[in-house]
A and B are shown apart, each in its own frame.
Chain A
Amino acid sequence: MIEPNVAGGVIGGALIGISSVLMLLLLGRITGIAGILTGVITWNKADGLSWRAAFVIGLVLGAVLYQIFVGPLPMDMQAGTPVLIIAGLLVGMGTRLGSGCTSGHGVCGIARRSPRSFASTATFMLVAVATVFVTRHLLS
């Protein structure tokens, strides 16, 4: 087993939860990053473009602050160019059709006891585990 980042995981996870709780308390919105991104790229001025754009800027800014005060971002890319493009396309299409990702379904939807979010989270977790099993163990 790889040594888990226990402190970072628990503190970071709590911050993600706190951010989602504050978004609901202040704006009455679900913190689903995929949906927030859709609102920005479609430039939907009629329905909350400014808060969505502000959230995405904040997301990047949070990572910039980490680099200033803590250190370089820990990022070990796990795929080459063609796989990154295919994976990005699948993540974009899938989160649109499936109405959400790890944050919207996995963190917020489960807290709302949404049956759709339970089904989505169970599905993408199992499929991702199966995908890694195929790429890391069957094909390599």
Chain B
Amino acid sequence: MKSAIAALLCGIIFGLGLTISEMVNPARVIGFLDVAGEWDLTLMLVMGSALIVTVVGFPLITRKAHPLLAEKFSLPTKTELDMPLISGAVLFGIGWGLAGLCPGPALAGLASLEPGVFLFVAAMIAGQFIGLRLERVLA
């Protein structure tokens, strides 16, 4: 229960971050990706600012024996660069460039009740199920 409340609060902070930074706006995202057009560097400021906090904060935390509300850290352990990683990033990059939406802003953007965002999220969920199936076939 405690961890669910903590995650809810973290989700709210994350959602405020995505909206205050305007990263929910596909126009801002496409504007950043459109380096040959009227370039918009907002996304770079958002990522830079987020990274300053995580780059400083993460090492301080992982030094601890365990997180405050869980017995252990659950961190990814893989280190090798494989085909699923790179081909997945390619597919994601194409989708991101086409719509200007990635998972966080798409989910937060549901709050706008914009029909296009609901459509995108439905397709994204279907895409994840296809991806899960593919992972089983490839494994």
Residues of A within 8 A of B (CB): 1-2, 4-6, 8-31, 33-34, 37-38, 41-42, 48, 50-67, 70, 72-79, 81, 83-99, 101-103, 105-112, 114-116, 119-121, 123-133, 135-137
Contacts and interface: CB of A to CB of B under 8 A. Distances in A.
Interface string B1-16: 1011111111111111
B70 A19 contact: no
A51 B58 contact: no
Contacts of A85: 119-120, 123
A65 B76 contact: no
A77 B20 contact: no
7 contacts: A12-B20, A12-B46, A48-B3, A57-B8, A60-B108, A90-B98, A98-B86
A87 B98 contact: yes
A84 B67 contact: no
Contact of B51 (A11, A17, A56): A17
Contact of B109 (A25, A73, A127): A73
A111 B54 contact: yes
A111 B111 contact: no
A-B CB proximity, top 7 nearest: A62-B15, A58-B11, A92-B127, A98-B88, A12-B21, A96-B131, A88-B123
A124 B92 contact: yes
Contact of B98 (A13, A42, A124, A131): A131
Contacts of A4: 40-42, 45
Given A62-B14, A75-B109, A85-B119, A17 B125 contact: no
Interface centre among A83, A121, A123 (most CB of B within 10 A): A123
A29 to B, nearest CB: 6
Contacts of A78: 26-27, 30, 99-100
A36 B27 CA distance: 25
A128 B33 contact: yes
Given A50-B3, A89-B124, A28 B17 contact: no
A127 B98 CA distance: 11
B26 A59 contact: no
A26 B6 contact: yes
Contacts of B48: 13
A36 to B, nearest CB: 8
Contact of B26 (A28, A75, A105, A111): A75
Contact of A27 (B47, B67, B93): B67
B8 to A, nearest CB: 4
Interface centre among A17, A24, A95, A107 (most CB of B within 10 A): A17
